[in-house]
Copies of this chain bind each other. A is one copy, B any other.
């Protein structure tokens, strides 16, 4: 694409997605400038997704873009933060206009869905990878941390677990779901819900929260460790989608739900007398001690979720 250079590509494809209440200066200058609500603090997170590691080789551009924004949005949700904006850094082996149009379509959908206008971008030549930085706002000193859980509280998750891992296994040709469930499961991998809609209610009721990226057991382990207590999970209470609950191989389903990761649902703790938010399920409780157990079995390293190395 001889007529395209880095600057015109960025301009053509990404500059239209920057409008938002927080945007003072959007893309095209040395920095983006954002306005925070008065008295609020900035919550921010930056994550890189790499082809072949975080999504299968040959994934559609729109799915990759959507997932990159959604998984970062999930970090804001897990802090109880309200979304302000996002910045994208993309490394691409070649400029392929059809791919970029596809990518931008998914980006536009995600940016709108999660209220994360794209205020800056950087495009470089290299192996396909996407780094998204997200910006959110929080009432001062009120961020929802992993360390705030207390013994005697309930442990909850949003949505259903295991779908994304089952979807990824399907995308990797490791099993064949029913025809009717294939799109649902693939979407659960590529289009995580990222529960930003729960953020403000969790700020009021939850004592600790995390998003489930590495697998439920690994991620509740982070809450247990940061809060210096023990978390007991009841596997029968794990919420499953119809696509998974109907499967005969319940051991595989449990593995996906407990250790699969990629669901980007929220796991949180709250005092037992609080009302369970809509769409959430109690799956266990906290107690003094340390570590995580599931159906009474202590969980040790080997099942503690996905590791990159």
Interface residues of A (CB under 8 A from B): 1, 4-6, 9, 24-25, 28-36, 41-48, 50, 52-54, 74-76, 78-79, 81, 87-89, 91, 94-95, 119-120, 122-127, 129, 131, 133-136, 138, 140-141, 143, 145-147, 209-211, 226, 307-309
Complex Cα spacing A210 to B71, Å: 32
Q: Within the complex, what minimum Cβ distance (angstroms) separates A71 from chain B?
A: 11
- With a cutoff of 8 Å between Cβ atoms, the chain B residues found around residue A122 in the complex are 46-48
Q: Within the complex, what minimum Cβ distance (angstroms) separates A85 from chain B?
A: 9
- Which residue in B30, B36, B91, B308 is a CB contact (below 8 Å) of A75? B30
B33 contacts A43, CB within 8 Å? yes
Complex Cα spacing A29 to B209, Å: 9
Complex Cα spacing A89 to B136, Å: 18
Contact flag A146-B54 (CB < 8 Å), given A42-B42, A120-B46, A131-B46: no
Residue of B nearest to A22 (CB): B42
- With a cutoff of 8 Å between Cβ atoms, the chain B residues found around residue A94 in the complex are 309
- Identify 24 residue pairs between A and B in the complex whose beta-carbon atoms are under 8 Å apart, listed by A's number: A5-B307, A5-B309, A24-B41, A28-B146, A28-B226, A29-B79, A29-B143, A29-B145, A30-B78, A30-B146, A31-B44, A32-B44, A32-B45, A33-B41, A33-B43, A35-B42, A46-B131, A48-B124, A50-B125, A50-B126, A53-B124, A129-B129, A131-B131, A133-B133
- Which residue in B50, B133, B136, B226 is a CB contact (below 8 Å) of A124? B50
- Which residue in B1, B32, B36, B45 is a CB contact (below 8 Å) of A120? B45
Complex Cα spacing A134 to B32, Å: 11
Contact flag A31-B87 (CB < 8 Å), given A125-B308, A143-B25, A307-B6: no
- Which residue in B42, B50, B54, B74 is a CB contact (below 8 Å) of A33? B42
B133 contacts A33, CB within 8 Å? no
Complex Cα spacing A44 to B121, Å: 11
- With a cutoff of 8 Å between Cβ atoms, the chain B residues found around residue A53 in the complex are 124-126
- With a cutoff of 8 Å between Cβ atoms, the chain B residues found around residue A123 in the complex are 308
The 5 closest A-B pairs by CB, nearest first: A50-B126, A30-B78, A31-B43, A131-B131, A34-B42
A76 contacts B307, CB within 8 Å? no
Q: Within the complex, what minimum Cβ distance (angstroms) separates A231 from chain B?
A: 17
- With a cutoff of 8 Å between Cβ atoms, the chain B residues found around residue A54 in the complex are 124
